[in-house]
Chains A and B, each alone.
Chain A
Amino acid sequence: MAVIEREPIELSKGWEIMEKGITKLKNILEEKDEPQFSSEGYMKLYTLIYDMCIQKAPHDYSQQLYHKYRETFEEYISSTVLPSLKDKHDEFLLRELVKRWSNHKIMVRWMSRFFHYLDRYYIARRSIPGLKVVGLACFKEKVYAILNEKVRDAVISLIDQEREGVQIDRALLKNVIDIFVEIGMGKMECYEDFEAAMLKDTAAYYSRKSSNWIFEDSCPGYMLKLEECLKREKERVAHYLHSSSETKLIEIVQQELLTEQVFVRKTIELHDKYLAYAEGSFKNHSLFHKALKEAYEVLFNKIVAGSSSAELLATFCDNILKKGGSTEKLSDEAIEETLEKVVKLLAYISDKDLFAEFFRKKLARRLLFDYSANDEHERSVLLKLKQQYGRQYTSKMEGMVTDLAFARENQNHFKEYLSSNPHLNPGMDLTVTVLTTGFWPSYKSSDHKLPAEMVKCVEVFREFYQTRLQHRKLTWIYSLGSCVIKGMFDSKSLELSLTTYQASALLLFNESDSLSYQELKSQLDLSDDDLKRVLHSLACAKYKILNKDPNTRTISPTDVFEFNAKFTDRMRRIKVPLPPVDEKKEVVADVDKDRRFAVDASIVRIMKSRKVLGYQALVMECVEQLSRMFKPDVKVIKKRIEDLINREYLERDRENPNLFRYLA
């Protein structure tokens, strides 16, 4: 029997034939006048690939064909797909994208049929990505990666238009959002990226709305609007968003529309209304004033959406007093009037100390980070609080405001000092705000290791401060520091506005190309909590200044980091935000501690004057004394009495255990 040895097919020859088939496929996709593939034509291409893969080496072209397969998509995308999308915007961009994605899927289907033999042997043996995955990934890498922000913005803007009552093409949105889901190939990351941006916009949208509606609508009117919005957002999810977004979306709408702004504004409004009734219709009868007071005490000592009214009122004040707050357009008189009313409402709150602590924390942020909109309003609200609740209530806060004025003066002296001692100049600008311990909330002064450049700054300032005030001890709180550094990236240099922690982490990459989590931890000497927050902000958030291996969204102690030289941004200067830690727990713990001291002091005061007193009477007097600031819990009082017995300030009577004696 004779075996006919066929000549092997050369790659270039074979590929020439393949290209003809591919061009036909492209023509079909471009809707050019091209007949469909006959089964014969398709079989011919499949067989060609098969033949080129089973030829003996060196004529086995499997590997080359695998690469050509990918290159075919890449070439098509750069020559045809991207140009068609490039100049389109908004809805037109979305339509084109939907068409292109649907074409791409068709192309992948046909191409993977032609090259099918690769999937069966070459790919399976090497366990490398299969044809379908490679094909779809091309679109993700070459189209989605470039256009996703533009597409995302277009989708979001359509959603906002619909919120404003414009009729939009919901089917189109549904198709675009399906792309986000499909392109993740089983993972939801792309959709989640979109979702995050969409939720952020939703929050901004409703925050704008709520600040308008608050002035336009009555309380019931506002609530009806809220209900309508919730209904519409639910419909939106049903029509074109992924079902997983529903709870998040609803939560955001509620959060924005039911803020402390609404709560406090509406409460003020109602209070004005009833006060007018009490004063007018009821001829200022004391009974009605009493009823009003009682009603408000009940209302204010309820907890709204997980926050106490003390916290809500403090946040409300913060919003009024900070830069870019939601009430920026209010006139000075209106702000003064609102603050005046808030201070009055505070009278109904039993936890005045809790309000003070929240207010102080927020005041500290406004002062230290220069968020305060107007110095006069700050002073005026403190004055109002002082007039109403006494000097002691505001003494710390006034101290803080004064500290800041001193700090500015001190900074000028420091500048003069440096200009008269130029040899001491550390080579970078340094601003130090010296605060008085005790006035300010307590901040962590960790052992964080600063980079050498910054250590020099600290030394210079320390020396300067010694020349002015010799016996003061300076404790540095790096956790509050901020820093501007210049990042030399491949495409351009960027100014990065960072916290001190972030900056010292980045500066370490001047010395090493890559650093592990553990190396960073030991070189920076930060707690795991702090370090994770810092690294997350630099490697996993909006600006990816560091590359992380493995490239996941959370920081783990086994990660390795390297400087991302390819990073760039449209802006010349970017601020890399470090999410603030939730301070609520801290405030509550601080207030609890202060309360224990206050109860102790009150018991000792009472017992010192009474010498011998029954338990019930002691509790009553103590509650009475403290109720100006807060409503002490009876159990706390009992515990403090027992503690004072143990510390031998008091003793329990031997005969009558309900009787206490003061021990001088």
Chain B
Amino acid sequence: MFRKTKSKKSDAAAAGAAAPTPKPAAASTTVGHWRPVPVNPVENLFNSYANKSTKEIDPEGIESLCSDLKINHTDVRILILAWKMQAKRQGFFTLQEWKTGMSSLHSETLPNLNSALTQLEKDIRKLSSSSDFVDFYTFSFNYCISEERQKGVDVESVCLLLQLILGGGGDKIVGKQKSWVEYLVRFLKEQTDTKVITLDQWMGFYRFCNEISFPDMKNYDAADAWPWILDDFVDWMGQNFRS
């Protein structure tokens, strides 16, 4: 994942790679019983990545999953997977979340999952103003909040998130967003007024990137209730890039 995920490579990854196809371990022990336990491939897949004692997929399990899916753990598709699972805690998947995600992605196996995620990424980027996308965008921010009382996300992570969600793809349709993200990230890294971005500001970024014309900002109105940090951003743009 893109933040606070410990990257313990070698061991965990090797273990994950050794078990690409799940073994029906649970089933074999119940042979001879009067009713066979049904084999659930989704659950089996989960178990192959889950930590044996906590019964959860932890950061190490996610590492293995990524390497089996042959994608980087900072890939936006992992974030999409977390969103589809409605995962609560960054870096961890519970069985319930896993089941929710797999069923909404109509997947039971790794190859299924891989192609479903790749397709979904494409769809999402095409419909970047859809309510689905807004939902994903909102989820991504909240997913970064690890503590109960935390009221925002640090600027550094926000920059990474923006680039990951609005700055990627290279699709023509999202060209404007992508241009804004480049400048917005530069501004956020330069400014010193705030270290933490709130959800309201985060949502403001999205509206701004979608609505405001690049680069002339002619439909921006300072009298509107844009979050103050965007007012500052517009001033900054004016000072640095007025031709």
Q: Give A contacts to B, CB under 8 Å.
A: 615-616, 635, 638-639, 641-642, 645-647, 652, 657-658, 660
Contact = CB atoms under 8 A, between A and B. Distances in A.
Nearest to A641: B225
Contacts of A635: 228, 231
Question: Which of A635, A652, A657 has most chain B Cβ within 10 Å?
Answer: A657
B239 to A, nearest CB: 17
25 contacts: A615-B224, A615-B225, A616-B223, A635-B228, A635-B231, A638-B225, A638-B227, A638-B231, A639-B228, A641-B225, A642-B227, A642-B228, A645-B198, A645-B200, A646-B151, A646-B152, A646-B199, A647-B151, A652-B200, A657-B204, A657-B207, A657-B224, A657-B226, A658-B225, A660-B225
Nearest to B221: A658
Nearest to B211: A657
A645 B202 CA distance: 13
Contacts of B200: 642, 645-646, 652
Contacts of B223: 616
Nearest to A637: B228
Contacts of B231: 635, 638
Interface string B163-205: 0000000000000000000000000000000000011110110
A642 B207 CA distance: 16
Contact of B198 (A638, A642, A658): A642
Contacts of B228: 635, 638-639, 642
Given A642-B200, A645-B198, A646-B200, A658 B224 contact: yes
A657 B151 contact: no
A645 B227 CA distance: 11
A610 to B, nearest CB: 15
Interface residues of B, number: 16
Q: Which 8 A-B pairs have the closest CB atoms?
A: A615-B225, A646-B198, A658-B225, A645-B200, A638-B228, A639-B228, A646-B151, A658-B224
Given A615-B225, A638-B227, A646-B151, 8 more contacts: A616-B223, A635-B228, A638-B225, A639-B228, A641-B225, A646-B152, A652-B203, A657-B204
Interface string B218-234: 00000111111001000
Contacts of B224: 615, 657-658
Interface string B135-164: 000000000000000011000000000000
Nearest to A660: B225
A512 to B, nearest CB: 46
B226 to A, nearest CB: 8
B55 to A, nearest CB: 34
Contacts of A616: 223
B225 A657 contact: yes
Contacts of A646: 151-152, 198-200
A314 B224 CA distance: 38
A635 B226 CA distance: 11
B210 to A, nearest CB: 12
Contacts of A660: 225
Interface in B115-138: none
Contacts of B227: 638, 642
A645 B197 CA distance: 13
A646 B198 CA distance: 7
A615 B204 CA distance: 15
A641 B226 CA distance: 11
Contacts of B199: 646
Contacts of A638: 225, 227-228, 231
B208 to A, nearest CB: 10
Nearest to B227: A642
B224 to A, nearest CB: 6
A657 B200 CA distance: 10
A657 B152 CA distance: 19
Nearest to B222: A634
Nearest to B223: A616
Contacts of B152: 646
B195 to A, nearest CB: 14
Nearest to A650: B200
B205 to A, nearest CB: 12
Contacts of A658: 224-225
